Amino acid sequence: AQSVTQLDSQVPVFEEAPVELRCNYSSSVSVYLFWYVQYPNQGLQLLLKYLSGSTLVKGINGFEAEFNKSQTSFHLRKPSVHISDTAEYFCAVRAYNTDKLIFGTGTRLQVFP
Amino acid sequence: ETGVTQTPRHLVMGMTNKKSLKCEQHLGHNAMYWYKQSAKKPLELMFVYSLEERVENNSVPSRFSPECPNSSHLFLHLHTLQPEDSALYLCASSQDRRQSFTEAFFGQGTRLTVV
């Protein structure tokens, strides 16, 4: 079975500051990794994904994430955040041999002016 | 617009009512999912359908009954719900593991309130 841990339930940050949202996963088989963003009263939108290849993945809205197999981590980063980045961010994992997409508990990013 | 449409967007129902949530995708995907998102709780995977066959049922109470008549449509039939079932219900679709991989695409969700 797979599991995802997002250690930070809330991350407050000032506008134009850098941010890192942490994600660790557990799996006995190879996995695909994802970050999704959810704005209020909306569904989930894909930010970026790691399938294979380069461990540094770039996504939309200036976000990027790095896959670290030895630390089983997939942390999300942005060098300079905007007010509009205020949202809930979810890390997710899907094992190669299943159709189950498992989510972490989410991190609320709050950007202040 | 993600290609996954859920209706209705909002639903208020009494505990004795019967209602259905609908999800539709025209992305050519063959796997569809129902998730429940409650306040202050993680996203819970409820059901997974692959090629219209239910492949996962995460110990969901029988008052939730899914139906997948074809690969483009997914329903969630609701009856005799409890107030704690109030939540945002999200539908998603993707290719299943036997096809070229795609990520899951989500609908906007149905905000359900049980009174």
Contact A43 B104 (CB under 8 A): no
- Which residues from B are below 8 Å from A90, CB to CB? 43
* Number of Cα atoms under 13 Å in the Cβ half of residue B81: 24
Q: Where are the beta strands (DSSP E) in B1-115?
A: 4-7, 10-13, 18-25, 31-37, 44-50, 53-57, 64-70, 73-79, 87-94, 105-106, 110-114
Q: What is the pLDDT of residue A52?
A: 86
Segment (H or E) for A52: none
3-state secondary structure B42-62: CCEEEEEEECCEEEEECCCCC
Query: Tell me: the pLDDT tens digits for A28-76?
Result: 888 899 999 999 878 899 999 998 888 999 999 999 999 999 999 999 9
- Band (pLDDT 50/70/90 cuts) for residue B2 is low
Contact B101 A51 (CB under 8 A): yes
- Band (pLDDT 50/70/90 cuts) for residue A95 is confident
Residue B96 has pLDDT above 80, yes or no: no
Q: What is the pLDDT of residue B42?
A: 80
Residue A85 has pLDDT above 90, yes or no: yes
Distance from CA of B41 to the nearest CA of A (A): 7
Q: What is the pLDDT of residue B90?
A: 95
Cα angle B110, B93, A74 (rounded to 5 degrees) comes to 100
Contact B107 A43 (CB under 8 A): yes
Residue B1 has pLDDT above 70, yes or no: no
Q: What is the pLDDT of residue B103?
A: 85
Percent of chain B with pLDDT over 90: 64
Sole residue written with tokens 């209706």: B7
Query: Tell me: the pLDDT tens digits for B28-83?
Result: 898 999 999 998 778 899 999 987 777 777 789 999 999 999 989 999 999 999 99
